[in-house]
Structure 1
Amino acid sequence: MTALARGLEVLACFRHGEITLSNQELAQRCKLPKSTVSRLTMTLTKLGYLIHVQESGRYRLGTACLALGSALLNKLDVRKIARPMMQELAEFSGASVSLGVRDKLSMIYVENCRSSAALTLTLDVGSRMPLASSAMGRAWLAAVPQEQRLEAMEQIHGLDDLAWPHVKTGIDKALEDYRTLGVTCSFGDWNKEVNGVARAFDPGNGLPVMAVNVGGPSYNLSPKFLLDEVRPRLLQVVRAIEEALPV
């Protein structure tokens, strides 16, 4: 692994909601020697990708990371096209409507719209959803070519051999739902108090497969409401996004 790849692995260790990490925590997550991580954090700090918090000796992401992320998001025209339609769907459903792309074994939000009339999830741009158990992740698995799906499933299997049979059952059910309903579902699978449905699409122009999900607290979004009322509108929104994208 090159120094660049290792440096990127260090930056990827920071999860949504985490402010600081120590060299020891970074070393554990990267599975690298602490001495190697110390050299990497020193270099990343000099370049502005990390900030060294003197009082605690820990590290937080620097402004150079923000510049990189902003540059990427600003170039994603699909966000601008999708947002008005996503917001309308959020208001109808009383839920959160998000657009995401795959990053390793997660889906990461690149756009998020919330209903102004109801309590919704507090997730936002940059939040991550598990590939195997979230509606969005399952939609991605259902939409990509079989070779890509099997590769991802093999990686998911490697995370927990004992849990794999249960996880695979959920994925298989999602693939069948996608064929018959046009969406994937996660009714308490990712979080027992959260329900959601999702649909994926290929934006073209070299961009990866993306997915739109509608989700929220289970007491506010029943499976019946999501399937009977939200699902048809979600399918319409995704079709409209596809038609509006430049060829």
Structure 2
Amino acid sequence: MIRAETYSSDRDVNEAVKDDPYFVTALARGLEVLASFRSGETFLTNHEIADRCRLPRSTVSRLTHTLTRLGYLHFIEEISKYRLGTQLVALSTIALGGLDVRQIARAAMRTLADFSNATVGLAVRDRLSMRYVECQRGPAAISLNIDVGMERSIQHSSLGRAFIAVLSDVERASLYEELRMLDPLAWPETQKSLDEAIADHETLGCCRSFGEWQKNVSAIAVGFRPGAGLPPMAINCGGPTVVAPPEYLLQEVRPRLVELARKLDGVMGA
């Protein structure tokens, strides 16, 4: 079996080439170019892409030219910048369409959002982040600015911690190594907080993030495995602390969120 891993820099790509004869470096670098676009950004120059991908500008120029020819990027001549192309949008639409768990979860997420007066989100792992693939907002006038496609830190968010909590030992060890390499000095404290979150998931049924992502934001999350070969996912509920205080989330929302995740676990079948 070919082992799939996540690589976050050109150094990681070079290391992968040494150990993995099936790894295609050119393809990896092309995907790195596409991944260099961040939420809320529309245009990037070759120079900006090169800095983010840690690649020579000459290499990036060839990659962006190829991706533009294929429709995955679009070049705006007036400003000499690139934006994501329609071919990539089509692929994203197909990928989201294949996540039938979104449709299955949507009505229950809407109900929980209305009950909690907070925001309920469903997310999958994207490298070292969790990316929202579905979200429902409660009726509160003050809510989190969350939408499909946005991402959250995998180690500091309730979503990421819940995702980690349902990984197998082998999967978790691989992810821990990536996080350790990201910041070796901070890793001991990061690992301690993640291990505590895993214990929370076992005892409380959920993971918590109270004021860690943003000072005045509280959230809880539950991880689950949807089945059908899909990787683990996580579902959370949170909002500004004034609307969703920690005590309310743990006492009133937690049982409902845990039950929702339980119903989604294995929902896609074998």
What range describes the TM-score normalised by the shorter chain of this pair?
Answer: over 0.9
- 8 Å CA contact 1:195–1:221 kept in 2: the answer is yes
Alpha-carbon distance in structure 2 between the residues aligned to 1:15 and 1:158: 22
1:200 matched to 2:205? The reply is no
Aligned alpha-carbon RMSD (Å): 1.4
Q: Does 2:232 match 1:209?
A: yes
Aligned length: 247
Aligned residue type for 2:189: H
Equivalent in the alignment of 1:6: 29
% identical equivalent positions: 51
Q: Could you tell me how far apart the structure 1 residues matched to 2:129 and 2:226 are?
A: 19
Asked whether the 8 Å contact 1:94–1:119 carries over to 2, the reply is no
Partner of 1:35: 58
Contact 2:200–2:206 under 8 Å retained in 1:
yes
Give 1:171's aligned amino acid. L
| Long gaps (5+) in structure 2 | 1-23
- Give 2:135's aligned residue: 112
* Residue aligned with 1:199, SS: strand
Aligned residue identity for 1:99: L
CA deviation digits over 1:28-58, x for unaligned, max 9?
1111111000110111111111111222211
* TM-superposed deviation, 1:244: 4.8
Deviation, structure 1 residue 86: 0.5
Aligned position for 2:214: 191
Taking structure 2 as the reference length, the TM-score comes to 0.87
The answer to whether the aligner puts 1:228 opposite 2:261 as a matched pair is no
Aligned twin of 2:170: 147
Please give the TM-score of this superposition, normalised by the length of structure 1.
0.95
Check the 8 A contact 1:135/1:197 in 2, yes or no. yes
1:79-158 to structure 2, matched below 5 A, reads 79-158=102-181
Paired position in structure 1 for 2:21: none
2:123 counterpart letter in structure 1: G
- DSSP 3-state at the match of 2:229: coil
* Paired letter, 2:55: L
Contact 1:139-1:178 within 8 A present in 2 as well:
yes
CA distance in 2, matches of 1:203, 1:98: 15
The SS at the match of 1:220 is: coil
